[in-house]
Chains A and B, each alone.
Chain A
Amino acid sequence: MKVAIVKYNAGNIYSVIHALKRLGVEPVLTDDPALLASADKVLFPGQGEASNAMHYLREHRLDEVIRSLRQPLLGICIGQQLLCRHSEEGDVDCLGIFDTEVRRFQPTRHEDKVPHMGWNTLHDTRSMLFKGFTEEEYAYFVHSYYVPLCPETAATTDYILPFSAAMQRDNFYATQFHPEKSGSVGERILKNFLEL
């Protein structure tokens, strides 16, 4: 199986590469449109700032490439946010796969710290990514912006308010949490994605 990771300016992809290797997959990290288009699966991970990331994607024409993909793609963390229509972070238009807006967490109590960091539960999981899940599982999150609940929501997590912990539309899958850092739960999610 050919697995490609989208190479752009939003960093820390090492842990995604390691996680895939532990599942027996050797991913290629590339910004070559032909390689991305010919991969069986594409991962779009990352951490970083949305407007910088979008600027880079447009400059390298990766926005068109990502939108044109028809094989399963998995956006992770900022990857999920960039697949949305618009982000409050840097007030930037994003890829528009998911027709919704990315917002910043607004704490309502002192205990609500931003970023939302740590292990939190996944509810209402409804996607092949969560195949075999029988109970509420914990996943690892680090983020200050969130995607509200919308028709594409594929799992919910509650922090300050319920938000989209995962999303899906057609071949586009995404998680706000980091499956590559979510222990055995994350491994099952990545394995489910690779088996799509």
Chain B
Amino acid sequence: MSEAVLLIGTKKGLWIGRSDAERRQWTLDGPHFEMQGIYSVGVDTRGDRPRLFAGGTSEHWGPAVFHSDDLGQSWAEPPEGSIGFPKDAEASLERVWQIQPAPQDQPGVVYAGAQPSSLWKSTDGGVTFELVRGLWDHPHRKDWGAGFGGQAIHTVLPHPTDPDRVSVAMSTGGVYQTADGGQTWSPANHGIKAYFLPDPDPEFGQCVHKLAGHPAVPERLFAQNHHGVYRSDDGGAIWKSIADGLPSDFGFPIVVHPHEPETVYVFPLVADGNRIPTDAKCRVYRSRDAGATWEPLTKGLPDVPSYAPVLRDALCTDAGTPAGVYVGTRDGCVYASADAGDSWTEVARHLPDVLTVRAAVVG
């Protein structure tokens, strides 16, 4: 019997939602990891049983990555810790922003993106991670900036069919890609504007907030930028704006439908200088034509004035049929759609700031 799990990482702990495969009614349990900011969560559905991940940061006791093989009943980390810089890197881990299992044909491979900007690779299913030296040693690293959230790799997008290719994104650094398994990396930001720099078209330094893609169309990528929503049809070589038709080109998350490569979701905010939902309405925007046109999704979302933004990882889909879509807000609400965004129901309210959501249909 299939069931669904929804991980809600907040500023003050993790909540776990559970439902059946219909995903209409949810029960919540939590908080787990009290007083830890849960900046990254993940669900690895590749193995015999799903493995959950939580990347927490305690303001006192530091960061850690935990995993659970019983759908969140218990959590573990290895005695030596799951992730940490080697001595010669002369750096200390501040936060894990992303935990991303690789595609099905790379069993055991899980990537992590962290602060300070670093990419990590696990080959033991996410129990332990090793620093990807090729990116850490990149000559650009000293010039990567720190956005308000810190200098971090917050997006890891493994290529769906080529294990040697990975895209990452960082705020005030931009998109970088490898085609040789992580040994060498090149910036891939051509066309993405950096309006906040003297040269708005630099090789790197763009503030990319999130990347997304669909496995069926490997060369098409989507990016939500710090102003700018973009699509690349050539694997990231050139980016073109798809922001026409949106009420604003500012926002943090961007997500692709699990079964429809042309269907994309964003959550527009007014502007860099006014980071609240456009028209003070909690609306997810959906495009069904890869960004040519957009529609607001409102049914079941609050119809009262709403001023809570959605952060970069607080919008996700599951791989169910029909597709589930989930959005969590900074005022602690989580809404779920079991029909690809056509209608929404409230899963949670009055939680701490929602930092990240991930969901899966398992079993």
> Do A and B form a real pair?
no
By a beta-carbon cutoff of 8 Å, the part of chain B in contact with chain A is none
Chain A residues in contact with chain B, CB under 8 A? none
